[in-house]
Homo-oligomer: A and B are copies of this chain.
Amino acid sequence: MLHHSEKNKSFEMACRQKNLRVTPQRIEIYKELSKAKDHPTAETLHKRLLKRMPTLSLDTVYRTLGTLAEHGLIHKVDTTESQAHFEADLSKHHHVICARCGRIVDFDWPVVDESELPEELSNWGHVERRSLILHGICRDCQSTH
């Protein structure tokens, strides 16, 4: 696990490597996403950032998240929702999503990461990443009926 300062440094290096300019907006958006544990949407992230950067525009957040996701510096979460959710954690992990409250929780499952893919995929192409989504009802939502 990297410290925050190291993480941000490596983010700047990753940007340079991809020929993306290191702007204050990108740094702050990435930092805010990194410390978030709730897979926020562009709008949520924008609201949080406005406190620190009152002039940051929502479309810059959209554009930045899009750019970073395209370059693999962050991930868009696979969802059935209309709003896109993002995360900065690039380590192998998966998601459980509650159908009631929509909360997304991370979990690890090495079986999925490490098992050999089924034969029928052998000539599909190149598989880059595996992302498992569990759908269900979380404990809180069950008890609230």
Contact = CB atoms under 8 A, between A and B. Distances in A.
Interface stretch (A6-14, A44-52, A53-61, A115-123): A115-123
A99 B67 CA distance: 14
Interface residues of A, number: 42
Nearest to A86: B80
A22 interface: no
Contact of A80 (B77, B120, B126, B142): B77
A105 interface: yes
Contacts of A133: 78, 130-133
A99 to B, nearest CB: 7
Nearest to A131: B133
